[in-house]
Amino acid sequence: MSELFNSSVSTDFDLRVGDCLRELDTLPDDSVDVVVTSPPYNLDIAYGSYRDNVPRESYLEWCLTWASKLRRVLKPNGSLFLNIGAAPANPLLPHEVALKLRSLFHLQNTIHWIKAITVQPRSGPELSVGHFKPINSKRFLTDCHEYLFHLTKEGDVPLDRLAVGVEYSDKSNIARWSHTGGQDRRCRGNTWFIPYPTIRSRASQRPHPATFPAALAERCIRLHGMRPGLTVLDPFLGIGHAAQGAATCGVGRFIGFEIDAGYLAEARERLGLTLST
């Protein structure tokens, strides 16, 4: 039994089984504020109902198709946060996708989702933290990050940077810089350390071969800017981590499409939704 997601907010969930290419056509123009999604990466991952090893050009054309549909439903001041990972032997894929979509969107920000990192504090030994998945290779380094492309229609969407900001390590900067307004808060930057939550059983706690943490979606939504009635969409829902992030933020409406009925049932269970919802 999957652990249920507990949230005190009331979000209107519209979760559907179906191919996003078809389901996106049912949404009105300019109706979505934020899209947070992670499509299949075409890296031969063993999904339940999707073949993840099509020819490269076919994959890129497919990306262009769903992205054009997302552009239609996204509001003029909306944000598309697109998570794309790579493999050590296939490092150009995220960049090829971004280049393919430049006829539709402006790349406003490139965010690096860091899963594991080693830092050297000013004093003390090196500190390694996060979710580290080693590889057996004499050629490649272990890949500890993925790309999160922030795409917008014109490249000029204002963001609430301090909503995901951090405190100053040197408090003297608060008074030194006039732009702080006396707040102990600065921009987080484009390097986001968000490890996966620790699990004991992948089969029961993360029954999907490629997910992002709900905290990643939550941070994207807050960065875009919270406002009443915000509508968030994930056309590749998986087991619902974007929906969990949206619920934590308290968005008004969340829409999710998932081609695999089993994954969608898992998402509903995690969100505590009945099958009739």
Average pLDDT over every residue of 32-50: 79
For residue 48, name the pLDDT band (cuts at 50, 70, 90). Answer: low
Looking at per-residue confidence, does 49 or 241 come out higher? 241
pLDDT, tens digit, 9 for 90 and up, residues 146-167: 999 999 999 999 999 999 999 9
pLDDT for res 54: 84
Residues 6 or more apart from 104 whose CB is under 8 A from it?
Answer: 64, 67, 68, 71
Among 13-17, 151-155, 249-253, 270-274, name the one with the lowest average pLDDT. 270-274
Residues of the chain above pLDDT 90, percent: 69
Give residue 4's pLDDT: 45
Cα–Cα distance, 221 to 3 (Å, whole number): 24
What share of the chain has pLDDT > 70, as a percent?
87
Q: Record the tokens describing residue 230, joined without a space.
A: 């915000």
List, for residues 179-216, the tens digit of each pLDDT value. 888 899 999 999 999 998 765 545 554 555 557 899 99
Token pair in block for residue 42:
């075409």
Q: Is the pLDDT of residue 52 over 70?
A: no
Token output for 186: 């600065």
The most confident of the ranges 4-13, 24-33, 39-48 is 24-33
Ranges of each domain in the chain: 12-271
pLDDT in tens, 88-134: 888 999 999 999 999 999 999 999 999 999 999 888 899 999 988 88
d(CA 202, CA 170): 40
Select, from the ranges 35-49, 177-191, 201-215, 254-268, the one with the highest average predicted confidence (pLDDT).
Answer: 254-268
CA dist 34 and 38 (Å) reads 13
3-state DSSP call for residue 188? Answer: coil
- Residue 170, pLDDT score: 87
SS3 232: strand
From the DSSP assignment, how many helices (H) and strands (E) are in the chain?
8, 10
Where would I find the H helices in the chain? 20-23, 56-73, 93-100, 172-176, 202-205, 214-224, 241-249, 261-271
Q: What would the mean pLDDT of 223-247 be, rounded to a whole number? A: 96
Q: What is the DSSP letter of 198?
A: P
- Asked whether 193 and 114 are in contact (CB, 8 A), the reply is yes
Global model pTM greater than 0.85: yes
pLDDT of residue 90: 86
CATH assignment of 12-271, given 3.40.50.720, 3.40.50.150, 3.50.50.60, 3.40.228.10? Answer: 3.40.50.150
pLDDT value at residue 206: 55
Between CA 237 and CA 26 the distance in angstroms is 17
Q: How far is C-alpha 159 from the chain's CA centre?
A: 16
pLDDT at res. 133: 83
Measured distance CA(16)–CA(233) in Å, rounded: 12
- Please work out, in degrees rounded to the nearest 5, the angle formed at the alpha carbon of residue 268 by the alpha carbons of 262 and 273: 145
Q: In which residue are the tokens 């006829």 written?
A: 103
Give the pLDDT of residue 132.
Answer: 85
Q: Read off the pLDDT of residues 61-86 as tens digits, 9 standing for 90 and up.
A: 999 999 999 999 999 999 999 999 88
